[in-house]
Structure 1
C-alpha cells in the first residue's frame, strides 16, 4: 500500500463513501500515511465538500488549509455542545433568556467570520431533527431528539441569527439604493423571524427566477415577437441584481408583459391575498408566500416587483396608510397602481380602494415612492401587529419580542416600540442592560422620552428582587403529600374545558392570590382551594393553574408537541407521558414512581383510571 503513488491514495480516500472519520482512522495506521494524508489539501477539500457542501463557497480556490479547518470545525462543535449542556441548570427557571446572558455566543461569532455558519449548521441539525427516544428514564442532553437540547439550541440559534443579521442590516442601509432590492429586504425579515430555517438570498432569487421564466415561456407563446427574447443574458442578469431606473419597453410591449405576468401569477399559479387569516405572521414571510401563494399586500407586491424587474418593468412600491400597492408609469407620463392583493387589478391614478379620503388618494405628493428601508420598517410594524392580534397563544411572547427587536433595529427612533420592548423585558425578568445601553447611545428627536425609559429600566434593575443570585442556586426537592394523585410529566384532559395538557409543577394546595381565586371561582369547586393544584402546559401554548378535581389522565396528547415550552421541562415523550429532563427530575424525584404506575397500567390494560 505504501508503494502506491500519492495520487492513487488520494483518489481512493476521496471516495464519498469514506467519511472523515474513516480517513482519520486510516491515517493513524502509520506515520507515513498520517504525514501524506494530513498534508493533502486536495483530499481534505473533497472531504469538506462531501460533508458540508453548503459551506464550500466560504473559501476561494486558493484556500490551502482544509485539514486545519475541519479540525477547527469539530472543535467548534464540541465547544457548542459543552455550552449547551450548561444552559438547563442556568436558565431552567427563566421564560426568556436575555441578550446579555448569551454574550458568550456573540464572542464566538466575533472570533471568526465563518463561525456563524458553523454554529448555524450544528444548531439547526439539533433543532430540526425528528429523532425519537424510547425510554422512561432521563436521557443525556446530547441524545438526538432531546427536547431540552432542542429548546436551548433554538434560543441560541435565534440569538446568533439576529446578531449576524444586525450586521447585514448595517451593510444593507449603506449600499447604494440601486442595490437595495426589496426581495433582499423581505428575505432579511423572513430570516429574522424564522431562525430555524435557512432562508438564503440564493434560494429566494431562484424561486423568483422560476416565476419569471414561466412568464417568458407564456409570453413567447402569446407574443412570440416580443423584443425581450433578443435581450442578452448579461442584461437580464443586470436587471435581476439592480433596481431599474426605467422600464425597458414601449407602451404596447409593457402591456403585453403585464398581461401575461398577471395571468401567470394570479390565474396559473394562483397567488392571492390572504383575507381569511390576515394576521398570520406567515403572510409577511416571503419564503412562505412563495411556497403557499398567499400573503399580505406588501409581500405579494415585493414578489410582483421582483418578477417584473427581471422582465425589464419598473414597478415602484407605494405605502398607502391602510394598503400597499405598486405604481407603474407608462412612457414616463401616465401612471396607475397595481393592486397585487386583489389579483393584480389596475387602479387608475387618483383611486385607492383602501384609503378613507379620496382627496388624499389623488395627491401624488402625499404618497411618494417608498425606499427599501421604509418597506422593511412597514413589514416590521405589520409583524408587531400580527404578534399582538393573532389569537394563537403558542409562541406569542417570542414572536412579539422578535418583532419589537426587529423594530428596534430597523426603526431605532420608534420610541413606542422601545417602551413596549422594555416592558416585555421587565415582565419576563430579563436583563435590560443592552436596551439601556442602546437608549443611551442613540440620538432621539425627543431625548426626554428616551431618558424616561432609561429611568424606568434603572428602577427595575435596582429593585431588591433583581439583586438576588440568578438561577444557579440549588433547587430543593419537592415532597409529595398523600392527596397528590398525579405527577409531573403526566398528560391530562381538563374535564370542564376539554383541552390537553401536561403537568410540569404542582402545589399541595392552591397558592394563587385571593384575587385570582375569586376571579376563577375556586370557592365553587368541590374541594375548594384545599386540594392540589397543578401548573400545566396546554396544547394552545399557554400555561395554566388547574385544580386536581378538574384533571383526568389521558394518552391523547393533542397538539402538545407544538407548545414551545415543552423542552424547558421535558426531554422526550414516551408512549403516554413526557419524561422530565435532569433538572425537573431533581426537583420532583418522587414523581417518577407515580408516573410509571400510570404508564404500566396503560401498557397492561390500554386505559388510565
Structure 2
C-alpha cells in the first residue's frame, strides 16, 4: 500500500468521520463526565454533544428517580442538557455543603436551625424539580452510607458524620414541606384518617418517601373488591346503570350491607390481623395491606376510607387514650325496630360491629362526636411513643418535632397560623406536588424559612484535650463496665471527675476517688453515662453498635472492625488518642491470631 493510500485510510478512520448517530450511541455507554470531556475536545463535538437531546434525556433518566423523570416529561421544556447540567451541579453543591457542616456545627450538633441551612434550601428551591431532587440526593446519601458501613470502610461524603448532617438537612426540608401539605389539606378539607396516618409516617421517617398516590391506589383496590361484591348481590333496578355509590345514596343498598361487605373483604377474604405495637411497619398503610397485619389505627383508617367512599355515615373518633370507629344508622330511631342498634362501634380485631359499645367516658349514646384530624394525629403520636418506649432513634426524634409543629414551638413557631392565613387566597386551588413544585408553593416555603429568624450563635472553638499517661482508654474504643457488664462506647474523657458530675458520683464506691480519669460513654441501652476508669475494661470482642450510630454520627465516621473512627473535628479535640487505639488493636489482633492458631493446632492434634 502506498503512503498516500495509508494517509487516506488513517484520515477516514478518525472519529470525526463517524456519523453523529454512531457517536451518540458510543457516548450513551459512558457517564456524564466522559461525555462532557469529549465535548471539550473541539467545537464540532461540543455543539454535537450539547444539541443531542436524546443523549442527555438518557443521562437525566439515570440520575433522577423514575417519578421525577415522568414529571419532567410532562412539565419540562425538552431541554435535557440544561436540566441534566443543573441537577448535576446541585448534587455536587449539596455534597459540598453537607461535608462543610461538621466543622461549623460540631460544637452544637443538636441545635441546628432552619436558618443555619438556608444555603441548602436555596438550592432546593432554585427550580420546580430541585426540591424533590435535593431530597432524593440526601436520601441516596443515607442509603449508600448505610451500605458502606457493612464493609468497615468509607470515604466522604458517605460517612456517619455526613449521614448525620444530611439527615438534619433532610428533616428541615421535609418538615417544612409537610407543614405546607398539612395546611393545604386542612384548608381543602382533605385530612382523611388514612392521609393523616401517612402524614405521620412521612414526618417521622424522612429516609424514605411514602407517596399518597401509592397508598390511595392500594385502598382503591379494596374499594373495587367491595364494589364488585355489592354489584353481584345488588344489581339495582332493571334497566338502570347506577353505580354502587348511587345505589347506596338512593337507598337501594342499605349502609348496613356495605359495612358487612367491607368486613367480609378485609377480614374474611384478605384475613387482616390486628397488631398490638404501633411502629413504622404496622402504621404504614401500604405495608399493612401487603403484610395483612396492622395496628388498630391503620385498620380503622382503611375501613373508614372504604365505607366513606360509599357514603356511609361513619366517624373515627379519637381523644386521649381512646379511639373507636363509630357508625350511626341513617334512619331516625323512632322509625326503626327498637331492638336494632342506633350506634355501633367496630371491633377492629374481627371486623364485627357491636351495639352501644361506646367508651363510658365519651358521654351518652346521643352525644354526637365527629372526626378531628389534630386529635387523631396526637393519638397516633401517643401510640407510637408508647410502643417505642425507651428506644431512641431518628424516627422518635422526628416524632418529638411533630409535637413542636402541632403546638407551634421551636423551628415551627408561627408556621401553621401563617400558612392558614396566607394560603386561603394564594394556593387553595393549586394542587401540591413534591415532584414539581408550583411557583407559589416555592415562594411559601421560602417565606417559612425566614419566618422564625434566630440570632446566630458565635462559632465555638474545639477545646483540645491533652492526654496524660494515666488515661488508659481512648475515644472510639468499645469497653465494658466491670461491675454491671454493659457494653459502652467512649466518646470523651476528663483527667479528673468534672465538677458538674461530682454530686452524681458515689465517692465511697471508688477506690481512687475523683482523682482518676473519667469517661463520657454511651451505653448499648442508649443511656449516657460518666464512668470512672477503675470501672472500665476494654472489650475482648468489639462489635459494631449500629443502633447507636444515629447519636454518635457527628463524632465518628465508621466502625473499622475494632473501634469507631473519630472524624476530623473529634481528632482535633483528642489529638493523641489514635496511637492508643492502634496499640489496643494490635494486641487484639495478636490475641485473635494466637487463639486461632491454637484452635487449629488442637484440632489437628486430636485428628
For the criterion TM > 0.5, the same-fold answer is: yes
Match of 2:516 in 1: 531
1:76 corresponds to: 90
- Is structure 2 residue 97 aligned with structure 1 residue 99? no
User: Could you tell me whether the CA contact under 8 Å between 1:250 and 1:331 is conserved in 2?
Assistant: no
Q: Does 1:316 align with 2:323?
A: no
Native 8 Å contact 2:203 2:398 kept in 1 = no
Q: Equivalent residue for 1:187? A: 198
Give 1:440-451 correspondences, 5 Å limit: none
TM-aligned CA deviation for residue 603 of structure 1: 1.6
Q: How far off its partner does 1:379 sit?
A: 1.3
Q: Aligned equivalents of 1:467 and 1:10: distance in 2?
A: 53
Q: Distance in 1 between matches of 2:509 and 2:242?
A: 76
Match of 2:490 in 1: 503
Residue pair 1:325, 1:337 contacting (<8 A) in 2 also: no
Question: Is the 1:539–1:560 Cα contact (8 Å) retained in structure 2?
Answer: no
What is aligned with 1:448? none
TM-score normalised by structure 1 residue count: 0.76
State the distance in 1 between where 2:552 and 2:290 align: 29
| Aligned equivalent of 1:341 | 348
Change (3 A) 1:299 1:49: same
| Aligned-residue offset at 1:400 | 5.0
Can you list the C-alpha shifts for 1:90-131, whole angstroms capped at 9, x where unaligned? 111224122332333333333333221111111001112233
SS at match of 1:341: coil
Deviation at 1:84, TM superposition (A): 0.9
Measured in 2, the distance between the counterparts of 1:553 and 1:381 equals 44
Residue 364 of structure 1 corresponds to 367
Residue 213 of structure 2 corresponds to which residue in structure 1?
202
Counting matched residue pairs gives 534
In the superposition, relative to structure 1, how do residues 356 and 376 fare at CA in structure 2: closer, same or farther (>3 Å)? closer
Following superposition of structure 1 onto structure 2, how do residues 137-216 of structure 1 map, counting pairs within 5 Å?
Answer: 140-142=155-157, 144=158, 146-175=159-188, 177=189, 179-212=190-223
1:391 matched to 2:389? The reply is yes
From the superposition, tell whether residues 318 and 75 of structure 1 become closer, same or farther in structure 2 (CA, over 3 Å). Answer: same
Matched, 1:124 2:129: no
Bigger Rg, which one: 2
Q: 1:247 touches 1:314 (CA, 8 Å); kept in 2?
A: no
What residue number does 1:470 align with? Answer: 459
Aligned counterparts of 1:535 and 1:387: Cα–Cα separation in 2? 27
> What does residue 599 of structure 2 align with?
none
Range with greater deviation from structure 2 (67-76 or 283-292): 283-292
Conserved 8 A contact 1:249-1:312: no
Query: 2:226 & 2:594 partners in 1: Cα distance?
Result: 59
CA contact (8 A) 2:183 2:419 kept: no
Q: How far apart are 1:160 and its partner, in Å?
A: 0.5
Distance 1:582 1:593 in 2: 15
How many Å apart are 1:184 and its aligned residue? 2.6
CA shift at 1:388, angstroms?
A: 7.5
Tell me by how many angstroms 1:148 deviates.
Answer: 0.6
2:313–2:330 Cα contact (<8 Å) kept: no
Measure the CA separation in 2 of the matches of 1:302 and 1:14: 50
Q: Judging changes above 3 Å, is the alpha-carbon distance between structure 1 residues 361 and 375 closer, same or farther for their aligned structure 2 residues?
A: farther
Q: What is the deviation of 1:313?
A: 5.2
Q: Deviations over 1:132-182 (max 9, x none)?
A: 369999x7532x3x111111111111110111112222322222x3x5443
The SS at the match of 1:404 is helix
**Unmatched runs of 5 consecutive residues or more in structure 1:** 240-244, 413-417, 419-431, 445-460
CA 1:326/1:262 → structure 2, altered by over 3 Å: closer, same or farther?
same
Question: Is 1:299 aligned to 2:298, yes or no?
Answer: yes
Quote how far apart the aligned CAs of 1:190 are. Answer: 1.4
Contact kept in structure 1, 2:193 and 2:376, CA below 8 Å: no
CA-atom RMSD, angstroms?
A: 4.0
**For residues 379 and 67 of structure 1, do their structure 2 counterparts lie closer, same or farther at Cα, with a shift above 3 Å needed?**
same
Q: How far has the Cα of 1:540 moved from its partner? A: 2.6
Q: Distance in 2 between matches of 1:170 and 1:301?
A: 23
Structure 2 Cα separation of the partners of residues 443 and 330 of structure 1: 35
1:423 corresponds to: none
Match of 1:415 in 2: none
CA distance in 2, matches of 1:234, 1:495: 76
**Partner residue in 2 for 1:547:** 532
Please state how far the C-alpha of 1:437 moved relative to its aligned partner.
6.5
Aligned-partner Cα distance in 2 for 1:340–1:246: 27
TM-score (norm 2): 0.76
Cα 1:376/1:291, change in 2 over 3 Å: farther
Judging changes above 3 Å, is the alpha-carbon distance between structure 1 residues 601 and 402 closer, same or farther for their aligned structure 2 residues?
A: same
The CA deviation at 1:11 is 7.1
- Structure 2 contact 319–376 (Cα < 8 Å) conserved: no
1:50-83 deviations in whole A, cap 9, x for unaligned? 4322311332266222210111101111111111
In structure 1, the residue matched to 2:32 is 20
Identify unmatched segments of 5+ residues in structure 2: 1-14, 334-341, 422-452, 596-607
For residue 360 of structure 2, the aligned residue among 347, 355, 368 is: 355
The equivalent residue for 2:581 is 595
